[in-house]
Amino acid sequence: MAVQSKEVRSSSHLSRRNLWSGFLFGIGFVAFFDEAVFHQLLHWHHFYDKSTTSAGLISDGFFHAFSWFATVGGLFLFADLRRRNRLLLKKWIGGMLLGAGIFQLYDGTVQHKLMRLHQIRYVENVWMYDLVWNTTAVLMIVIGAALAVRTKKGERNAQ
């Protein structure tokens, strides 16, 4: 019986590890995408727009470094799960969508509206951009949570 509970604990730990690996990768990926597309290619904003362009570019560099640390950390966990043959792809994708959605919703509400570090785009009707940004974030969270819960139920049934 002690062996079985140890196996269940190990299985639970690996399940959480799949979720966290995807979560970190999701945060890193959506932050990287935001930085590359909206900051660099479209020039809509910088991470910090309350100062000079130079300060904005420096803040973008720190933001870019953060996104890569999260991405690489998530991928190291992913590689370890694959090496152990313990990768639960649906759980991982659920975690990825949760991480991406939570980060995007945080960015759209806290950084854009509460802290006013920057806006998505500096236009007259920014609310349309906010609506699309935050709705996309909520959709990622809902789909990611559904995948994570669905996988959790499947794991319980397999035990």
Q: What Rg value do the Cα atoms of the chain yield, rounded?
A: 18
Instruction: Give dist(CA 95, CA 84) in Å, integer.
Output: 19
Instruction: Tally Cβ neighbours within 10 Å of residue 36.
Output: 13
Instruction: Give dist(CA 24, CA 11) in Å, integer.
Output: 20
pLDDT per residue rounded down to tens, the chain (159 residues): 455 555 555 678 888 999 999 999 999 999 999 888 887 888 887 777 777 888 878 888 888 899 999 999 999 999 999 999 999 999 999 999 999 999 999 999 998 899 888 788 888 889 999 999 999 999 999 999 999 998 765 554 443
Dihedral sign of CA atoms 70, 71, 74, 75 in order: negative
pTM of the model: 0.84
